[in-house]
Every structure is written in structure tokens, then in C-alpha cells.
Amino acid sequence: MKRALLLVALLCLGASSAAADVPHLLSIPEGTYRAVVPPGWDGKRPLPVVMYLHGYREDSALITGNSELVAAATSLGALFVVPDGIDQGWSHVGAPRRKRDDIAFLHAVLADVGARWPVNKARVFAAGFSIGGSMVWDLACHGAQGFAAFLPFSGGFWLPYPERCETGPFDLRHTHAVNDHTFPMEGRPLFGQFHQGDVHKGFALLEATDGCDAEPDAKTREGALDCQTWSHCSSGKQLEMCLHNGDHQIQGGWLRQSVEWAVQRVAARS
């Protein structure tokens, strides 16, 4: 009995410690977010920023409690910023909900981050998973200012497709499962009136925005990812699509690979 009580006490202590490790919730008029500072930061060096947009029914507490996702950014010396969608979702074009101008909200978060920490403005990247990945596509197409590269996972445009990306061109690396059942590559209808778009059709719009050739000019294998690269682009930007044989998921290692790709793109432009 005493051992059982001790075990319960230790488990409760562990839960309290884990909760204490979750960064404090930061508030701005438009919403909330959390941020994780990279270990060993000297308090002065300008920080790269990885803004991560969570999936449906997730939030900043859940994501900043995921050590693999956090380390994917902070191990590279970046500040990991996780905004909260309203009701754990995002209001992009074609989304089942439109409760806030989320492009304006994400720019407001970025401005608040810049007021709290010294930011390396040349290395600000937007990543996201599932509906958060769709929000990243929307952000790239309609609000790219202030972001150096976009790193969506398992999400894309919803119908209607944009006629053009008025804030492009931009660097973007997309990661997706060829067997994704939640957001299939070919898209799918939802609730009778909403429709996830075809990822390849959406990518063709990105190619046109960046002035890229229709076909990729390089193919590489990165662990479980088969990647195709479009680097022959009149804009000087680059697109990449990396596919895997899993289902609807993101892994910390894949996020780190995408951030490393984004860092390399910034270095190539310097």
C-alpha cells in the first residue's frame, strides 16, 4: 500500500514537472502563443525563428510538450514559436471555419516575438502540420512578407484554389505521405461543402509563381523521404516536395531536415 502511494506521488510529481516545463502562454490582442528559447542562448545573439502551426485539435501546450518537435528547431539554435489557432483549428481560404484573419494574427505574433527577443529577420521560417500545413500554404501565397521560407507538412490548398499568389515568389519545401488518408494527395470533399485540394495542382500554382520549370531537376533520398527539387526558377527561389510511405504524420527528424533546407536556402542567397 505504501509502495502504491509512493508510486502515485512520484507520478504526480513527474506530471507537475512536465507541466512546469511547458513555456508560459503569451497573449496579444489577437490570440495566444508559446515560445521555446534554444538551450545555451546567450541572451544577445539574434535568433532564427521557426513558427510552427499545429494540426487540428492540437494547441501550443501540446506541441511545446513534444520534445522531438521542439528540438528540431532549438537544436539548430532557433526560437520555436507555436501560435494557437482558435478552437484548435485555422481559418485559411476554404477552411470549414473562418473565425479570425489568421494571416494577420501570425504577423502579429511575429511582431510580438520581435519585441520580446532579438530576431534574425533573414531566418524566419513558417512550418505547420495538417490543417496547420494548409495554413502555411495560405500564408506563403497571401502573406509571405517577413518569412524567408515555408515548410508545410501533410496539408495544402483547399478549394477554391487561389488565382495567384500575390506575395510570391518564395522558397517552399512540402512533405507529404503518398498514402495519406486524412489529407490525400489528390484531395477529398468534407462535410458536403468543403474540399481539400489536389496537392499536385496546388504545387503547379507554386511553380508558376516562382517561374520554375514544370518538371523537377533533381531527385534525392533523405532517409524515409524521396525528394524532388525545382531549382531552375526565374525568380531565384526553390521548391521541394518530399514524399514518404507512411500515413498522416510529422516526425521531429523531418522537421529538422526542412529547417536545415531553409537555412541552406538563406545561405545560398547571401
pLDDT digits (tens, 9 = 90+) for 203-260: 999 999 999 999 999 999 999 999 999 999 999 999 999 999 999 999 999 999 999 9
Bridge partners (DSSP) listed for residue 225: 222
Model confidence at 270, in pLDDT bands (50, 70, 90)? confident
Q: Are strands 79-83 and 119-129 parallel, antiparallel or unpaired?
A: unpaired
- pLDDT digits 0-9 by tens, 21-76: 689 999 999 999 999 999 999 999 999 999 999 999 999 999 999 999 999 999 99
* Domain assignment of residue 13, yes or no: no
Model confidence at 18, in pLDDT bands (50, 70, 90)? very low
Per-residue pLDDT at 5 exceeds 70: no
For residue 92, give Cα distances in angstroms to 6, 61, 77, 134, 194. Answer: 49, 22, 30, 7, 12
Task: Tell me the residue type at 120.
Answer: N
**What pLDDT was estimated at residue 269?**
86
| Mean pLDDT of the region 90-100 | 93
**What pLDDT was estimated at residue 130?**
98
Average predicted confidence (pLDDT) for the chain: 92
Return the higher-pLDDT residue of 34 and 1.
34
* Domain assignment of residue 252, yes or no: yes
- pLDDT digits 0-9 by tens, 115-162: 999 999 999 999 999 999 999 999 999 999 999 999 999 999 999 999
How many structural domains comprise the chain?
Answer: 1
Q: What are phi and psi of 62, to 5 degrees?
A: -65, -45
* Domain assignment of residue 6, yes or no: no
* Domain assignment of residue 74, yes or no: yes
Q: Are strands 239-244 and 172-177 parallel, antiparallel or unpaired?
A: parallel
Q: What length is written for the chain?
A: 270
**What pLDDT was estimated at residue 11?**
30
Bridge partners (DSSP) listed for residue 241: 174, 228
3-state DSSP: the chain helix, strand, coil percent, rounded to 5? 35, 25, 40
* Domain assignment of residue 11, yes or no: no
* Domain assignment of residue 15, yes or no: no
Bridge partners (DSSP) listed for residue 222: 225
Q: Are strands 194-196 and 218-222 parallel, antiparallel or unpaired?
A: unpaired
Per-residue pLDDT at 9 exceeds 90: no
How far is C-alpha 164 from the chain's CA centre? 21
Q: Which domain holds residue 109?
A: 23-185+195-269
Per-residue pLDDT at 3 exceeds 70: no
Where b means 16+ CB within 10 Å and e means fewer, 84-95 reads: bbbeebbbbbbb
CATH number for the domain harbouring residue 157: 3.40.50.1820
For residue 74, give Cα distances in angstroms to 50, 67, 78, 255. Answer: 9, 10, 5, 11
* Domain assignment of residue 247, yes or no: yes
Separation between Cα atoms, residue 23 and residue 254, nearest integer Å: 23
* Domain assignment of residue 48, yes or no: yes
Model confidence at 192, in pLDDT bands (50, 70, 90)? confident
**What pLDDT was estimated at residue 21?**
63
pLDDT-wise least confident of 19-23, 170-174, 190-194, 223-227: 19-23
Per-residue pLDDT at 10 exceeds 70: no
